């Protein structure tokens, strides 16, 4: 089953997969009311034991959020009489017969889609992540959507590529309105227990032009990042590189293995901190003989964290809610926000920025105290990725660039063959600091409420180094994590997984697409000597 594509509908195939058997899920399901892929209809909802009678007369079919009994349906205000008469519902139990994306209402589409991701959640490991690419749709008049058979696109008739005529089944009140389907889906996913970590904007510079002249051209799609867990599942030790599931002893454990003494970051190892400014007219007083800071009329006091000992216990253990490897991106040039890589003199732009932000002249935001991180900055949520032409007969193909970083960040390259724990790259503080600005700034502390260890105040940054990967201790060897795509389509997810030395499982309802993907996979296997 590994590195294969299973022929069938995700609704029927997913229940056959073992629970918690994949590390990562990435997919782009059929968008609502966009195209008909010409596949056999599937029966959704209703009573499984019902001898269905399909007809034109039926009470409205609908659902409640997170409904666990889809056979008992309630009416939906968005369905009108004409929609119901055209829809293929069972007269007895309310089941619907059709293809995902061609539901008469977007509410029913979202329910069906989230039902599938309910099975995805069961199959996904507790420490796994799920990424979903989904586009939006506009409401129509009820029979004016789709393309004619003479419309051409990329050398193919769009009807041959799956476009449909008259598939927009919304009421008149939604005509010309953007339906916010991605966000409706996102909200329903969180209602069903998923943890939404990010909404990523896929910005397409070379998007398809639009003939609309009464709105702007849409040049982006959504990529949602979900997880199953928001509680600590495993812990890693930066000293021993251990990876354990149970709660370690931490600072109550063995010195040198579980923890060590380090200089108190709260007081910088002095045992004392500066207290609040004294009220006007108040007399500074000695605090246990430590003294007073006369120039600022602010009294010293004993550090509440280290109790004046100047050092604290530092635990080597770090908890993780799910497997995720931080990704970085290069800084935007010319780094004007921080004054560039080299400290520069005050410019007119800095002066304007200082006035607008009402910052003091010694503020690190003005003087450029925050220098660029050598690794780059943490990856942002707007990704500029151009679309890629695809020569074969599949219209909805996302580019490899869209899924490369999510798979790298969310799917481990090394998974223990025995216990299933994934290795995680560990970084350790070297004890060294890099300069990242000028002198301390009380102004910055006041305005931004920075902590005593903030680079805005200290003018220096910790230097970390990679020390290796965690080890579960099984000594059974490692293999790549498993990527699942329940709507495999042209197989882009599988190709990227293989290029990153990871494994995949695909589900696809059309035999033609499976043959197409296998041809693409064979080329990648030959190119990367994957065998």
How do residues 154-172 score in pLDDT, each as one tens digit? 344 444 544 444 444 455 6
**For residues 112 and 225, what is the distance between their CA atoms, to the nearest angstrom?**
19
Most confident of 39-48, 57-66, 459-468: 39-48
**294 pLDDT exceeds 90?**
no
pLDDT at 286: 45
Task: Read off the pLDDT band of 355 (50, 70, 90).
Answer: low
Q: For 199-254, how does the pLDDT look when each residue is reduced to its tens digit (9 = 90+)?
A: 999 999 888 888 889 999 999 999 999 999 999 999 999 989 999 999 999 999 99
Q: How does strand 152-153 pair with strand 124-134?
A: unpaired
The set of residues, in sequence order, having a beta carbon less than 8 Å from that of 431 and lying 6+ positions away, is: none
H-type alpha helices, 61-216: 81-86, 106-123, 181-191
**For residues 385 and 404, what is the distance between their CA atoms, to the nearest angstrom?**
11
Most confident of 147-161, 247-261, 379-393: 247-261
**450 pLDDT exceeds 60?**
no
The residue among 275 and 9 whose pLDDT is bigger is: 9
**For residues 324 and 299, what is the distance between their CA atoms, to the nearest angstrom?**
44
**pTM for this prediction:** 0.77
pLDDT at 352: 53
Region of poorest pLDDT, from 201-215, 375-389, 451-465, 496-510 = 451-465
The mean pLDDT of 173-190, rounded to a whole number, is 92
Closest CA to 19 of 167, 94, 122: 122
pLDDT at 221: 94
On whether the CB atoms of residues 490 and 397 are closer than 8 A, the answer is yes
**For residues 37 and 100, what is the distance between their CA atoms, to the nearest angstrom?**
10
pLDDT at 281: 56
On whether the CB atoms of residues 414 and 423 are closer than 8 A, the answer is yes
């Amino acid at each position: 089953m590994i590195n294969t594509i299973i022929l069938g509908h995700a609704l029927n195939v997913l229940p056959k997969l073992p629970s918690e058997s994949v590390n990562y899920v990435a997919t782009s399901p059929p968008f609502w009311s966009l195209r008909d892929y010409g596949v056999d209809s599937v029966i959704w909802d209703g009573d499984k034991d019902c001898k269905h009678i399909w007809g034109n007369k039926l009470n409205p079919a609908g659902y409640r959020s997170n409904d666990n009994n889809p056979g008992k349906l309630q009416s939906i205000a968005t369905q009108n009489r004409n929609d119901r008469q055209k829809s293929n519902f069972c007269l007895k139990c309310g089941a619907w017969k059709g293809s995902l994306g061609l539901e008469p209402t977007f509410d029913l589409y979202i329910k069906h889609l989230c039902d599938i991701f309910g099975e995805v959640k069961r199959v996904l490991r507790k420490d796994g992540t799920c990424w979903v690419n989904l586009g939006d749709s506009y409401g129509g008049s009820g029979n004016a959507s789709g393309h004619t058979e003479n419309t051409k696109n990329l050398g193919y008739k769009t009807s041959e590529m799956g476009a449909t005529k008259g598939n927009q089944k919304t009421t008149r009140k939604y005509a010309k309105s953007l339906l916010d389907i991605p966000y409706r889906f996102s909200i329903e996913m969180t209602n069903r227990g998923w943890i939404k970590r990010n909404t990523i904007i896929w910005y397409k510079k070379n998007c398809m032009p639009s003939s609309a002249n009464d709105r702007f051209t849409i040049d982006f799609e959504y990529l949602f990042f979900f997880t199953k867990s928001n509680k600590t599942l495993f812990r890693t030790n930066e000293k021993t590189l251990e990876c354990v599931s149970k709660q370690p002893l931490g600072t109550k454990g063995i010195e040198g293995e579980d923890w060590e003494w380090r200089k108190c970051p709260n007081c910088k190892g002095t045992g004392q901190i500066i207290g609040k400014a004294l009220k006007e007219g108040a007399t500074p007083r000695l605090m246990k003989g430590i003294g007073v800071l006369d120039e600022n009329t602010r009294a010293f006091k004993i550090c509440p964290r280290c109790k004046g000992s100047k050092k604290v216990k530092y635990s080597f253990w770090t908890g993780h809610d799910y497997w995720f490897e931080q990704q970085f991106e290069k800084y935007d040039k010319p780094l004007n926000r921080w004054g560039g890589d080299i400290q520069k003199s005050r410019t007119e732009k800095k002066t304007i920025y200082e006035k607008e932000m009402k910052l003091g002249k010694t503020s690190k935001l003005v003087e450029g105290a925050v220098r660029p991180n050598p690794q780059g900055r943490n990856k942002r949520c707007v990704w500029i990725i151009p679309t890629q032409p695809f020569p074969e007969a599949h219209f909805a193909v996302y580019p490899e660039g869209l899924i490369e970083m999510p798979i790298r960040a969310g799917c481990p390259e090394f998974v223990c063959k025995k216990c299933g724990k994934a290795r995680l790259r560990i970084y350790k503080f070297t004890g060294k600091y890099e300069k990242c600005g000028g002198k301390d700034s009380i102004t910055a502390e006041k305005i931004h409420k920075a902590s005593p260890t903030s680079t805005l105040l200290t003018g220096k940054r910790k230097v970390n180094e990679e020390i290796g990967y965690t080890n579960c201790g099984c000594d059974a060897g490692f293999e790549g994590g498993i990527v699942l795509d329940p709507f495999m389509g042209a197989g882009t997810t599988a190709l990227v997984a293989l290029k990153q030395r990871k494994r995949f499982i695909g589900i696809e309802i059309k035999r033609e697409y499976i043959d197409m993907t296998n041809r693409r996979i064979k080329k990648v296997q030959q190119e990367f000597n994957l065998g």
